[in-house]
Amino acid sequence: MRIQPADMIDRLPTQFFATLVAKVNKVIAQGHDVINLGQGNPDLPTPPHIIEELQAQAAQPLHHKYPPFQGRVELKQAVAHWYKQEFDVDLDPEEEVAILFGSKTGLVEICQVLMNAGDVALVPDPGYPDYWSGVAVVNGRMVMMPLKAENDFLPDYSQLSQADLDRAKLMFLNYPNNPTAVNAPLEFYEETIRFARKHEIVVCHDFAYGAISYDGKKPVSFMQVPGAKEVGVEFYTLSKTYNMAGWRVGAMVGNRELVRLINLIQDHYFVSLFGAVQMAAAKAMTDSQQCVRDLVAVYESRRNALYSNLHRIGWQAPPSQGSFFAWLPVPSGFTSVEFSDLLLEKAHVVVAPGNGFGPTGEGYVRAALLSNEERLAEAVQRIERLGLFTKTK
């Protein structure tokens, strides 16, 4: 019997990181010591008090049954508590918080509950590739919003055509930004809310790196801007803040009708998260946040070490403002892929080519701060030996 996949399967974009991993594994199989700065998988363990809470909760028979379809009230209350504590945002736990299997799931689901075939989603370019996946699933159309250095890696709404705006249902934003590692100011979100109201476009703000910012500056949550709940939602994940990537816990907060729609579609997909995981996540968000401050200090120290070494060899770039990434210009004479392949093959250092995040990412590579300072310094030393940069005096 021949299996005929649905048309949707053919529309899905090529998994960018799967291709990168295959290249890396080939070099590792040859016996080389590879320094992998190409992926965004946190390298440090989940804090012990969160693990201990999971262990204790897993022994409770209550959690061996199906959890509530739309998540445990304790976790929804914890999300609301965290937003109030961190950003002075008031959320109704039942009406303005939806529990997600990691924020990635919600980013696909929001397309399913809002878009019909042919509808437009405004997508940052460069941006997180899984925005594309959600649009492909519903047979929508993407309109890229270029993020350029001359505009501080913020989209310029004036460059969008009226025809595209007439078809646009939603817009993805993401600050602190992956991959450009910049933060967005409050004024940008105020402009965004005016724009969204005018064109009736739902704003979907991906706040995955909302706890990771440097130089004493706190990122702005879209939810703390007046009018945000009227026009959109924010997606948050515990993956980065608490090194819980494998736990798959996230939330979508904001507009009540959008929360209702996400809950409705999730009722048809699954019966929420394992209750013990939810209770451990609640512990993470309501207990002391010293572990988060410690983690950010580690990343900031790594950032400083990386950029000081990069500048030493003559690779100039503005230091990251947030996230755990560095967005670095490719030296002249190379495409992003050519330069990434060269670093992998000759220096055994992995970076992600910028065009994997969208056409405007061409000319850059993304490196992650997910190795210790010694390995970051060694990576730069290996690159230095290739003789591609001119040392600064």
Task: Note the pLDDT tens digit of each residue in 227-281.
Answer: 999 999 999 999 999 999 999 999 999 999 999 999 999 999 998 999 999 999 9
d(CA 170, CA 260): 17
169-173, 208-212, 389-393: least confident range:
389-393
Query: How would residue 14 be classed by pLDDT, with cut points 50, 70 and 90?
Result: confident
77-257-274 Cα angle (round to 5): 40
Which three-class secondary structure state does DSSP give residue 235? strand
Q: Give the mean model confidence (pLDDT) for residues 119-131.
A: 96
What's residue 21's pLDDT? Answer: 86
Q: In this predicted model, what pLDDT tens digit does every residue of 19-44 receive, in sequence order?
A: 888 888 998 999 999 999 998 889 99
Residue 1 reports pLDDT greater than 70: yes
Query: How would residue 289 be classed by pLDDT, with cut points 50, 70 and 90?
Result: very high
What's residue 325's pLDDT? Answer: 98
d(CA 274, CA 64): 8
Beta bridge partners of 352: 366
Q: Give the mean model confidence (pLDDT) for residues 283-298.
A: 98
Q: Give the mean model confidence (pLDDT) for residues 51-65.
A: 97
Q: Give the mean model confidence (pLDDT) for residues 153-162.
A: 97
Question: Are 210 and 219 in contact, with CB atoms under 8 Å apart?
Answer: yes
Q: What DSSP state is assigned to residue 68? A: P
Query: How would residue 16 be classed by pLDDT, with cut points 50, 70 and 90?
Result: confident
Q: Are strands 232-237 and 97-100 parallel, antiparallel or unpaired?
A: unpaired
Residue 390 reports pLDDT greater than 90: no
Residue 392 reports pLDDT greater than 70: no
Residue 71 reports pLDDT greater than 90: yes
Q: Give the mean model confidence (pLDDT) for residues 7-16.
A: 85
Specify the pTM. 0.96
Mean pLDDT, rounded, of the chain:
96
d(CA 323, CA 330): 20
Query: How would residue 15 be classed by pLDDT, with cut points 50, 70 and 90?
Result: confident
Q: In this predicted model, what pLDDT tens digit does every residue of 99-122 receive, in sequence order?
A: 999 999 999 999 999 999 999 999
Query: How would residue 391 be classed by pLDDT, with cut points 50, 70 and 90?
Result: confident
Residue ranges and CATH numbers for the domains of the chain are 7-46+291-384 (3.90.1150.10), 48-286 (3.40.640.10)
